[in-house]
Structure 1
Amino acid sequence: MHSDHSAYFKFTGKARLEKSINSLLGIVEGISADSRINANELEFLNHWLNEHRELAGRHPFNELMPLIIQAIEDGLLSDEERQDIRWLCERLRSSEYFDRITADIQRLHAIAGAIAADGRVTEAELRGLSNWLAEHDHLKTCWPYDEIDSLVTKVMSDGKIDDEEHRIVQGFFSEFIVLFDNRTIVSPSMTDGISLVGLCAVCPEISFAKSIFCFTGTSSKYTRTELAGLVNRLGGEVANGVGAKLNYLVIGADGNPCWTYACYGRKVEKAVELRKQGKKIVIVHENDFHDALADS
């Protein structure tokens, strides 16, 4: 950045963000006509990445950049990958995202952290949180609304919190005390003796033989190619996209900030829609997928 621009640079944040996202959309559309990326096209996309490298740890670039890097690592840009990038760009530049979803999810994180901050979660606090959740149900399918809502509903079903329930709620909510870093929450499903009904299945039974898997997000342990190889060796298949025949959609845990929009992205949106139509698609967190691999 030229030194003459620095004085007013901070006042153009949203305009710069929209320009960056629009430029990315144009680049992706321009190089994806043949679904392959040649060296010159890759260099052009890498130029966009390098231009925004210093912002890689800041939202929303900490969502966009891992998605792009993962998409191009094999030198190809499939239709599914292109649609994922386009979906996320459209969400990130929408007025709904800026004005409502972002603010309310950030508030939810702060609420959970504040409840846990004194080391004691009370029934009155959970009732207040439950009322807030009911007033903000437009956040459904955005992490961590569904998980928090399920946990609060289960714990408060008898109107009181026992010691075990307190331990679980306090442990989960404590992850939100650290508000200002990019630490990934790696335990979105609470499984310590409490059955929850949320977006991700809790302690799911995962069968590999003759099952169809799809992956979204970034894995903390494997590349997409490695994941496909593991599933194939256990008798399963891997699909690039979400369809009616899909059995499992696995959400990766790594490379996303703890309230990432990308984590619950286009594939999850489609899977939820198909489940509402009666399709038996199980949405699995990566941790449970790794457990199933170990058991197999």
Structure 2
Amino acid sequence: MVDLHQEFERSRFFHQGRIDRRSADALVGITAGLTADGKINQLEAEFLKNWIETHLIHLEDPVVNILYHRLANMLSDGVLDENESVELLEILHQFSGIPVGGPQRVSTVSSLPLNDPAPELDWLAKVFLFTGVMAFGPRKDCEALVIERGGVIGNSVSKKVHFLVVGSIGNEQWLHSAYGAKIKKAVELRDSGVPIAIISETHWQQVLFG
């Protein structure tokens, strides 16, 4: 299991006195602007990738690198498909700290409504859904691991979903939105008695890799 939490905590990108603070702040502003209309297209994704290459790639910062490599991976075949566009929009909303639907009170990772204690994970025929930015890698890679073990990937939060996995990347500047639409819906279902569990990526990885 790759645990990047401490690396993110030490990241220069999160320190007030870091080098190129203005460029890093500009990146937050750019991502907020690109996502303001609630969608991200290929030209916008290519612009953002090129901007990072020009202004920030030399920082060798973990968070900047994750954003850049996710962009590069999505654009590697020359096409930003619909699923990649949706995932990128979510990543950029979290990066800018502005959740879908506009500004609202944000919540830190520690206050996410995860199941406590974390449940045991069954795979066979169980429905998983991912939300947020996964430290493990692109969402399609995380989904593939579930499918390999006999699990199923859900399309949206519903009574059919057994586990909602919340990506672990987030801190003071890379913010999880205020629970997010998926998490809010999952909490409502859980509170009504539906057996849906909200779990962290850390728990998901621990079960996968020990």
Name the TM-score, length of structure 1 as normaliser: 0.45
Q: Alignment partner for residue 139 of structure 2, among 214, 224, 235?
A: 224
Q: How does 1:83-94 map to 2 (within 5 A)?
A: 84-85=90-91, 88=94, 90-91=98-99
Q: CA RMSD in A?
A: 4.5
Q: Please give the secondary structure, in 2, of the residue aligned with 1:205.
A: coil
- As a proportion of its length, which structure holds more helix? 1
CA distance in 2, matches of 1:45, 1:27: 16
Query: Displacement, 1:281?
Result: 1.6
> In the alignment, is residue 205 of structure 1 matched against residue 124 of structure 2?
no
> In the alignment, is residue 70 of structure 1 matched against residue 80 of structure 2?
no
Indicate how the Cα distance of structure 1 residues 47 and 234 shifts in structure 2: closer, same or farther if over 3 A, else same: same
> In the alignment, is residue 81 of structure 1 matched against residue 47 of structure 2?
no
Query: Displacement, 1:282?
Result: 0.6
Q: Is the 8 A contact 1:214 1:250 kept in 2?
A: yes
More relative contact order in 1 or in 2 (CA 8 Å, sep 6+)? 2
Find the counterpart in structure 2 of residue 20 from structure 1.
Answer: 30
Query: Displacement, 1:87?
Result: 5.1
Find the counterpart in structure 2 of residue 245 from structure 1.
Answer: 160
Q: Which amino acid aligns with 1:249?
A: L
Unaligned runs of 5+ in 2: 1-20, 76-80
Cα offsets for 1:142-191 (capped at 9, x unmatched): 43236xxxxxxxxxxxxxxxxxxxxxxxxxxxxxxxxxxxxxxxxxxxxx
Indicate how the Cα distance of structure 1 residues 223 and 83 shifts in structure 2: closer, same or farther if over 3 A, else same: closer
Q: Please give the secondary structure, in 2, of the residue aligned with 1:199.
A: coil
Q: Please give the secondary structure, in 2, of the residue aligned with 1:270.
A: helix
Q: Alignment partner for residue 261 of structure 1, among 170, 175, 187?
A: 175
Q: Which amino acid aligns with 1:70?
A: R
Indicate how the Cα distance of structure 1 residues 245 and 49 shifts in structure 2: closer, same or farther if over 3 A, else same: farther
Q: Please give the secondary structure, in 2, of the residue aligned with 1:213.
A: strand
Indicate how the Cα distance of structure 1 residues 223 and 47 shifts in structure 2: closer, same or farther if over 3 A, else same: closer
Find the counterpart in structure 1 of residue 111 from structure 2.
Answer: 145
Find the counterpart in structure 2 of residue 281 from structure 1.
Answer: 196
Query: Displacement, 1:291?
Result: 3.1
CA distance in 1, matches of 2:32, 2:60: 20
Q: Which has the larger radius of gyration?
A: 1
Q: Which amino acid aligns with 1:144?
A: S
CA distance in 2, matches of 1:292, 1:217: 19
Unaligned runs of 5+ in 1: 1-9, 32-36, 102-138, 147-197
Name the TM-score, length of structure 2 as normaliser: 0.59
Query: Displacement, 1:288?
Result: 2.0
Identity, % of aligned positions? 24
Q: Is the 8 A contact 1:24 1:48 kept in 2?
A: no
Query: Displacement, 1:95?
Result: 5.8
Q: Which amino acid aligns with 2:34?
A: L
Indicate how the Cα distance of structure 1 residues 45 and 83 shifts in structure 2: closer, same or farther if over 3 A, else same: closer
Q: Is the 8 A contact 1:87 1:266 kept in 2?
A: no
CA distance in 1, matches of 2:114, 2:39: 31
Q: Which amino acid aligns with 1:261?
A: L
Q: Which amino acid aligns with 2:150?
A: G
Q: Which amino acid aligns with 2:158?
A: G
Indicate how the Cα distance of structure 1 residues 290 and 219 shifts in structure 2: closer, same or farther if over 3 A, else same: same
- Residues matched between the structures, number: 181
Query: Displacement, 1:207?
Result: 0.7
